[in-house]
């Protein structure tokens, strides 16, 4: 986890993600990204000079076979309060509405549930598990399907709720995250969503992987361009180039 922690800390400092006294929730879906982020934030809390409180939140979509018991055990071991938010998202999207493109509505409903829970718990920030590859793929998604140069922001303040979203894994590549999850035997929860692997994001992921065979630094250049241009809120306090092999192999 040393490489992950190093990149997470540098990202947090580059974008001033944490302030003294922050009460931060980690959005835990049960996937490798969110569990790796949870572990990294719990370890960072032990030595980071800026004190902050940490919680873990899971939006349960209402699928009976999804067992978050091992995640709850992990949180107990880390000393992180764990909150499961029960919903009927799966039933509403696939049984009631029978959505053909369910991802947008699912994300909206998850956000609503988690933001309501955060307000009730008095948490002011949520750490999301988007990493380096997610950022590059989102940039291409916006370009191909919306005709604009855009991406989610490293730090986003939501004025309607007073909640701030932070993305501390942005300097960590998917390969690094996958390796960390495997080495630490994180309790990954299988995603039963029928749309998983059949989305526009998956198409772009495969395209970027194909292009990267001919242009090995493609993802580095796109990520660097977002910082140097920069896209809104993407200009870090100090731009630091990180070689691709660091992110992918850790």
Q: What's the total number of domains in the chain?
A: 1
Q: Which domain CATH number covers 35?
A: 3.40.50.620
CA 247, CA 250: separation in Å to the nearest integer? Answer: 6
Task: Summarize pLDDT for 137-182 with one digit per residue, the tens.
Answer: 999 999 999 999 999 999 999 998 999 999 999 999 999 999 999 9
Q: Per DSSP, what are the bridge partners of residue 58?
A: 84
Domain that holds residue 119: 2-249
Task: Summarize pLDDT for 183-207 with one digit per residue, the tens.
Answer: 999 999 988 877 776 788 999 999 9
| Three-state SS at 193 | coil
Q: Is the pLDDT of residue 249 over 50?
A: no
């Amino acid at each position: 986890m040393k490489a992950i922690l190093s990149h997470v800390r540098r990202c947090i400092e580059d974008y001033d993600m944490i302030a003294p006294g922050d009460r931060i929730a980690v959005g835990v879906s049960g996937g490798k990204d969110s569990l790796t982020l949870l572990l990294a934030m719990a370890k960072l809390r032990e030595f980071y000079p800026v004190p902050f409180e940490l919680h873990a939140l899971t939006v349960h979509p209402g699928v009976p076979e999804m067992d978050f018991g091992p995640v709850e055990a992990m949180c107990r071991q880390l000393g992180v309060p764990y909150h499961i938010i029960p919903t009927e998202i799966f039933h509403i999207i696939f049984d009631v509405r029978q959505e053909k493109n369910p991802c947008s509505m699912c994300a909206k409903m998850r956000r609503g549930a988690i933001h309501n829970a955060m307000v009730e718990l008095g948490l002011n920030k949520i750490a999301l598990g988007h990493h380096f590859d997610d950022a590059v793929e989102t940039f291409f998604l916006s370009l191909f399907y919306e005709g604009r140069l855009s991406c989610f922001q490293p730090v986003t303040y939501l004025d309607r709720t007073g909640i701030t979203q932070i993305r501390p894994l942005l300097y960590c590549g998917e390969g690094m995250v996958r390796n960390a999850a495997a080495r630490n035997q994180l309790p990954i929860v299988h995603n039963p969503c029928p749309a998983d692997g059949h989305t526009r994001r998956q198409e772009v992921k495969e395209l970027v992987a194909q292009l990267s065979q001919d242009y090995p630094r493609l993802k580095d250049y796109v990520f660097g361009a977002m910082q140097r241009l920069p896209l809104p809120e993407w200009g870090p306090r100090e731009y630091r180039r990180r070689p691709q092999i660091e992110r992918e192999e850790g």
